């Protein structure tokens, strides 16, 4: 077994260090040794352009510098080819010993070298964000898919992750619902001021009814100011603890949570906490008193607010409103109190909010208020991870045919239905029984929407096009999944035939290119983590399958007559599969056993 010392840093870092060392030997700053993967593989595997910058700085000829660097590099014996192109670019090819040694070490690590450069943090991820009585919609789709992928990514690099669904369960919508239910069923015990229970065990309304009641109540409040006022008062009384309202609220919350669990299960989202806005209720009075006493909050036009404008603001920054004149708490109040609660319960290093980009002003206000009011440890990182909208083919945010909100569940069902068609057309229906076919269609459908969502730049909008998403070719989830399944089947066959894996050797450039792609996972993971950008991992897994296909096209594996070469290739396939499945797992994509 090798020492494993190579893996403490990624291949690119290691190479940059070696080249940097050569620069420094000839008296030039080592930072010029920065090396990157070459875009033009036929010229070299890697490229270093540092001689050009260095030449400018020290006033020498760049080609001359490059030549001297190459002389130094040749002494190391780590390279099979070093050449100069154009004005002084250095093209680099690694020796097979170096390359194979690196990938062998990397493959032995459970995390492919991705943990070594990362200092573990305690991260709270706030995503999902469904609301009581409202079916989850297309906006929650993105929050859930992106949030879950960031959760898996953080866990992969060794962070301690707390995932909180942060249920929307505490604003005016609750008062509106209470009053709407009271209109329909005034005989229920919940509305009696003096009644303290016992209240009925069964909810007086079903989830389906709630989802009808809410729009009705909301419409009524717009036409009828008296109803709105009653709802405001009910919200206030609920928040202050009126027993009947609390009991009714608990029913609404419970059945809504149960409903969202189905959606979250389908999407594979795993929450460690099922907290909601209401869970901050105990923190709010204390917070309000402290903020007043310490002079952070003030009264403005009858409302309690925290001023968050700062010198040098380019855009208008309205104050964060904590309490309206009617005394009810707001979205900003519960979010600020949630920060205090999280500080109190978890003392996190980072809190990330995966929420629609259209809420960016809200989060800016909340974060500023949290800093100003010392609601959180000063070095805790707070960040809003925004995202763009999901659009229909007309380029506008996705709507149902009659202009309504598209439910998350129907999106998922449509995706699975579309996947079933593709899967059936590809002839799988003859090979698998109904149950397995159903399982494959579900996995393909989910993979399709997830990959389509995650492969876009987070902040851009995208068009929801199931026909394209479910295709087995191109940059799609099903394509990536299929690539992994093919390797799986091949390795299964190898096992059946009693063929073993063996030591890695390289006999073909497509093998080396595949190894280079595998070695670049640490960079992809680092980039995806720093930018909260799962699309970088989508690109990585795509390039893996491209390089694998090129290799598989050129090289025999099971049919290779030379035993040592075949054993090496089987090992390369196994490493590729393990990495592909790992990255697909982070993207939330399950790979079936066969398809």
Binding status of residue 279 toward ligand ARG by CB under 6 A: no
Binding status of residue 525 toward ligand ARG by CB under 6 A: no
Between the two ends of the chain, the Cα-to-Cα distance in Å is 37
> Residue with structure tokens 């004149």?
325
Quote the CA–CA distance of 331 and 173 in Å, as a whole number: 11
DSSP secondary structure letters along 269-300? ---SB--BGGGGTTHHHHHHHHHHHTT--EEE
Q: Which residues pair with 85 in a beta bridge?
A: 89
Q: CA 211, 141, 262, 410 torsion: positive or negative?
A: positive
Q: Residues touching ligand ARG: how many (CB under 6 A)?
A: 8
Binding status of residue 470 toward ligand ARG by CB under 6 A: no
Q: Which of residues 6-25 bind ligand ARG (CB under 6 A)?
A: none
Q: Which long-range contacts (CB under 8 A, 24 or more apart) does 210-215 make?
A: 210/132, 210/133, 210/177, 210/252, 210/255, 210/256, 211/133, 211/134, 211/135, 213/133, 213/177, 213/180, 213/181, 213/184, 214/133, 214/134, 214/173, 214/176, 214/177, 214/180
Answer for the pair 80, 96: CB distance below 8 angstroms, yes or no.
Answer: yes
To the nearest whole angstrom, how small is the minimum distance from the Cβ of residue 144 to ligand ARG? Answer: 11
To the nearest whole angstrom, how small is the minimum distance from the Cβ of residue 255 to ligand ARG? Answer: 17
Binding status of residue 529 toward ligand ARG by CB under 6 A: no
To the nearest whole angstrom, how small is the minimum distance from the Cβ of residue 369 to ligand ARG? Answer: 13
By beta-carbon proximity to ligand ARG, the closer residue of 20 and 173 is 173
By beta-carbon proximity to ligand ARG, the closer residue of 88 and 147 is 147
Binding status of residue 335 toward ligand ARG by CB under 6 A: yes
By beta-carbon proximity to ligand ARG, the closer residue of 105 and 340 is 340
Quote the CA–CA distance of 83 and 392 in Å, as a whole number: 51
To the nearest whole angstrom, how small is the minimum distance from the Cβ of residue 14 to ligand ARG? Answer: 41
Quote the CA–CA distance of 94 and 78 in Å, as a whole number: 6
By beta-carbon proximity to ligand ARG, the closer residue of 358 and 495 is 358
CA-to-CA dists, residue 316 to 150, 303, 310, angstroms:
31, 19, 10
Which pair of tokens denotes residue 273?
Answer: 């906490």
Binding status of residue 386 toward ligand ARG by CB under 6 A: no
Binding status of residue 384 toward ligand ARG by CB under 6 A: no
Binding status of residue 343 toward ligand ARG by CB under 6 A: no
By beta-carbon proximity to ligand ARG, the closer residue of 131 and 221 is 131
Contact mark string toward ligand ARG, 164..183, x via CB under 6 A: --x-x---------------
Quote the CA–CA distance of 571 and 564 in Å, as a whole number: 11
Binding status of residue 214 toward ligand ARG by CB under 6 A: no
Quote the CA–CA distance of 389 and 391 in Å, as a whole number: 6
To the nearest whole angstrom, how small is the minimum distance from the Cβ of residue 363 to ligand ARG? Answer: 8
| Listed residue (113, 125, 14, 120) closest to 525, CA to CA | 113
Quote the CA–CA distance of 161 and 348 in Å, as a whole number: 9
Closest residue by beta carbon to ligand ARG = 129
Q: CA 330, 334, 335, 340 torsion: positive or negative?
A: positive
To the nearest whole angstrom, how small is the minimum distance from the Cβ of residue 139 to ligand ARG? Answer: 7
**79, 156, 170, 353: which one contacts ligand ARG (CB under 6 A)?**
353
Quote the CA–CA distance of 478 and 442 in Å, as a whole number: 11
By beta-carbon proximity to ligand ARG, the closer residue of 144 and 476 is 144
By beta-carbon proximity to ligand ARG, the closer residue of 88 and 168 is 168
By beta-carbon proximity to ligand ARG, the closer residue of 131 and 365 is 131
Answer for the pair 143, 354: CB distance below 8 angstroms, yes or no.
Answer: yes
Contact mark string toward ligand ARG, 100..129, x via CB under 6 A: --------------------------x--x
By beta-carbon proximity to ligand ARG, the closer residue of 131 and 535 is 131
To the nearest whole angstrom, how small is the minimum distance from the Cβ of residue 353 to ligand ARG? Answer: 6
By beta-carbon proximity to ligand ARG, the closer residue of 62 and 129 is 129
Which pair of tokens denotes residue 286?
Answer: 């204390």
Binding status of residue 355 toward ligand ARG by CB under 6 A: yes
Binding status of residue 332 toward ligand ARG by CB under 6 A: no
Quote the CA–CA distance of 546 and 539 in Å, as a whole number: 10
By beta-carbon proximity to ligand ARG, the closer residue of 47 and 131 is 131
By beta-carbon proximity to ligand ARG, the closer residue of 354 and 441 is 354
Task: For residue 404, say if its preceding peptide bond is cis, omega within 30 degrees of 0.
Answer: no
Binding status of residue 256 toward ligand ARG by CB under 6 A: no
Binding status of residue 131 toward ligand ARG by CB under 6 A: yes
Residue ranges in contact with ligand ARG by CB under 6 A: 126, 129, 131, 166, 168, 335, 353, 355
């Amino acid at each position: 077994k090798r020492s494993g010392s190579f893996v403490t840093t990624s291949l690119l870092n290691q190479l940059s260090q070696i080249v940097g060392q050569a620069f420094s030997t000839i008296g030039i700053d080592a930072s010029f040794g920065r090396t990157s993967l070459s875009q033009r593989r036929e010229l070299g595997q890697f490229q270093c352009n540092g001689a050009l910058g260095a030449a400018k700085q020290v006033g020498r000829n760049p080609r001359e510098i490059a030549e001297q660097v190459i002389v130094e590099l040749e002494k190391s014996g780590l390279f099979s080819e070093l050449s100069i192109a154009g004005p002084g670019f250095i093209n680099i090819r690694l020796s097979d010993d170096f390359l194979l040694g690196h990938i062998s070490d990397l493959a032995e690590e459970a995390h492919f070298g991705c943990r070594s450069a990362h200092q573990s943090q305690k991260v709270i991820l706030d995503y999902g964000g469904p609301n009581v009585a409202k079916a989850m919609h297309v906006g929650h789709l993105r929050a859930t898919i992106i949030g879950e992928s960031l959760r898996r990514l953080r866990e992969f690099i060794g962070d301690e992750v707390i995932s909180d669904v942060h249920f929307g369960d505490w604003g005016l919508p609750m008062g509106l619902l209470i009053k709407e239910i009271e209109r329909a069923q005034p005989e229920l015990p919940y509305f009696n001021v003096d009644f303290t229970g016992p209240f009925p065990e069964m909810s007086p309304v079903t989830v389906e009814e709630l989802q009808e009641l809410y729009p009705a109540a909301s419409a009524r409040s717009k036409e009828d100011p008296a109803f709105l006022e009653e709802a405001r008062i009910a919200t206030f009384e609920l928040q202050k603890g009126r027993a009947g309202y609390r009991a009714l609220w608990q029913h609404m919350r419970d059945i809504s949570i149960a409903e969202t669990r189905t959606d979250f299960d389908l999407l594979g989202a795993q929450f460690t906490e099922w907290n909601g806005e209401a869970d901050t209720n105990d923190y709010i009075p204390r917070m309000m008193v402290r903020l007043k006493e310490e002079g952070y909050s003030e009264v403005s036009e009858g409302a309690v607010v925290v001023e968050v404008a700062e010198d040098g603001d380019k855009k208008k920054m309205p104050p964060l409103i904590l309490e309206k004149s009617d005394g009810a708490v707001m979205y900003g109040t519960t979010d600020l109190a949630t920060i205090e609660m999280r500080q109190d319960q978890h003392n996190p290093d980072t809190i990330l909010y995966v929420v629609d980009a259209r809420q960016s002003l809200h989060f800016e206000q909340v974060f500023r208020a949290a800093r100003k009011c010392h609601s959180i440890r000063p070095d805790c990182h707070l960040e809003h991870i925004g995202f763009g909208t999901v659009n229909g083919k007309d380029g506008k945010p996705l709507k149902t045919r009659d202009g309504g909100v598209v439910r998350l569940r129907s999106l998922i069902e449509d995706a699975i239905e579309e996947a079933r068609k593709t899967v059936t057309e590809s002839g799988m229906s003859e090979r698998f029984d109904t149950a397995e076919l159903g399982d494959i269609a579900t996995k393909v459908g989910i993979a399709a929407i997830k990959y389509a969502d995650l492969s876009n730049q987070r902040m851009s909008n995208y068009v929801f096009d199931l026909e394209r998403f479910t295709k087995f070719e191109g940059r799609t989830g099903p394509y990536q999944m299929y690539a992994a399944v093919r390797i799986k089947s091949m390795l299964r066959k190898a096992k059946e035939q009693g063929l073993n894996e063996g030591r890695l050797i390289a006999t073909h450039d497509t093998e080396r290119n595949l190894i280079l792609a595998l070695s670049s996972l640490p960079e992809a993971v680092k980039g995806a983590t720093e930018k909260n950008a799962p699309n970088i991992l989508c690109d990585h897994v795509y390039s893996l399958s491209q390089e694998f296909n090129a290799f598989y096209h050129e090289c025999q594996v099971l049919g290779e007559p030379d035993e040592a070469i075949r054993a090496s290739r089987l090992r390369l396939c196994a490493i590729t599969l393990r990495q592909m499945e790992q990255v697909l797992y982070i993207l939330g994509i399950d790979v079936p056993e066969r398809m």
